[in-house]
Structure 1
Amino acid sequence: MRAIRGLWRWRHNPLRRGTDLAEAWVALVALILIVVAGPVLGIVAGSLSRDALYRSVQDQHSKRHEVTATVEKKVSQPPLDPDPETSTARDAHSRVVAHWTAPDGSAHRGRVIAALKTPHTGDTFPLWTDDKGRVTGRPLDRATATTHAVLAGFGAAVAVTGLVEGTRRLIVWRMVRRRYARWDQAWDIAGPDWGRTGTGS
């Protein structure tokens, strides 16, 4: 709004300099770009990210499978957080030796992290594997993918806003430097006695 008020104020002002009007126009263009281009690019970036993430979700769900693993024994390990007062949700997981059957029917055994606080031999827990039974991470869900896409769009909009504002500030800084340089030249031409001109000295 300052840019619009600046343009209106300088429109017919006899003291208006060309640089004043140019600065107001730069501010107005920057404002329009921030209000229009920022959100548009944010929406485009968010949509592209969402589409890519949804394809990843679909791909992961087709290649990762939840199987049931059975605990054989607990593996001794130091606690994830030695201070019981600051323990986190990670302490609810234990490292165990377990066996499971892959989606292709093959049997597997190995050390894995179980979502069990106090595992005992014979306890079962869910485990994500690929088609051949290799342990993988839990597949991405659509809600998380949507959240990531929204954050990507918001980040793109903020980046565009920052770029536009940074460019505006750089342009105005260069214009002010040029104005000061012209003032210095004018002072040099006027000389040190400009105030006594016509006094007969």
Structure 2
Amino acid sequence: MLEVVMRGSGIGALCTRVNRLRRRCGFDRNDLRRDIDRAQTRIACGLVLCFLAAAPVAGSAAGQAAYDRGIRVERHEKATRHLVTATVVEVGTRTPGAQPGVWVTWTEPDGSRHTGTAAVWRGTPDTGETQRMWVTDSGKPTVRPRWRSQSVFDAWAAGLAAALGVALPLALTYTLVRRLNDRRRYRGWDAAWARLDHRFRRS
């Protein structure tokens, strides 16, 4: 009855998969598995545990640092950039596939007039057309302040990069261990074949 319940609930299949994974990792009593195989498996498991322990810490620290930098940039740009109403005074040569140069003029809140090249202009500009545009406190056209989504994306990217930075040396370590063990296996196989050949010759 218990077996039927386990099968019906999927627990039996889960246990089978866990046992299969355990055997693949070398945690069994298979007499055909050599000591060098078991040692390599233990090293691999140790490296995986190191990654699971270090990657979240490194990723979290790097992501938080990147997010904090992004927030500081956001606050700085919001404090040093503002919107003005710009008027197109001249449009440069239109090149297929490229945005033409747009020269605009605008008036600051203090009454001073400025002229510059629009950093961003929606659609096809025409002389006399007006549009809201971001400028710096020094009177230079620029793009809108940093989005919060950019800071979040940078944080995730930094966290992922840090986690990969942890994984890379561990992967190189395992690759080195495996190559060294492979050489030992090859030498062991050659020695075993030599002993077998010697026995056949003696018989």
TM-score (norm 1): 0.73
Q: Percent identity among equivalent residues?
A: 34
* Structure 1 unaligned blocks of 5 or more: 82-92
Match of 2:40 among 8, 17, 23: 23
Tell me: CA distance 1:104–1:26, structure 2 relative to 1, closer, same or farther (3 Å): farther
1:184 CA drift (Å) = 4.0
1:150 CA drift (Å) = 1.5
1:133 CA drift (Å) = 0.2
Amino acid at match of 2:103: V
Amino acid at match of 2:54: A
Whole-angstrom distance in 1 between the partners of 2:122 and 2:62? 40
Aligned CA RMSD, in angstroms, stands at 3.0
Match of 1:9 among 25, 28, 31: 28
Are residues 1:101 and 2:83 paired?
no
Contact 1:104 1:131 in 2 (8 A): no
Task: State the match for 2:11 in structure 1.
Answer: none
CA deviations on 1:81-115 (whole Å, 9 max, x unpaired) are: 6xxxxxxxxxxx65322112346654221332452
Amino acid at match of 1:130: T
Whole-angstrom distance in 1 between the partners of 2:120 and 2:38? 68
Contact 2:88 2:103 in 1 (8 A): yes
TM-score (norm 2): 0.73
Q: Which has the bigger relative contact order, CA under 8 A and spacing at least 6?
A: 1
Match of 1:172 among 172, 178, 199: 178
Are residues 1:115 and 2:134 paired?
no
Contact 1:73 1:98 in 2 (8 A): yes
Aligned pairs for 1:72-91 (under 5 A) are 72-80=89-97
Aligned pairs for 1:120-199 (under 5 A) are 120-184=126-190, 190=195, 193-197=198-202, 199=203
Task: State the match for 1:45 in structure 2.
Answer: 62
Task: State the match for 2:75 in structure 1.
Answer: 58
1:191 CA drift (Å) = 9.4
Tell me: CA distance 1:54–1:113, structure 2 relative to 1, closer, same or farther (3 Å): closer
Whole-angstrom distance in 1 between the partners of 2:109 and 2:198? 95
Across the two proteins, how many residue pairs are aligned to each other?
Answer: 184
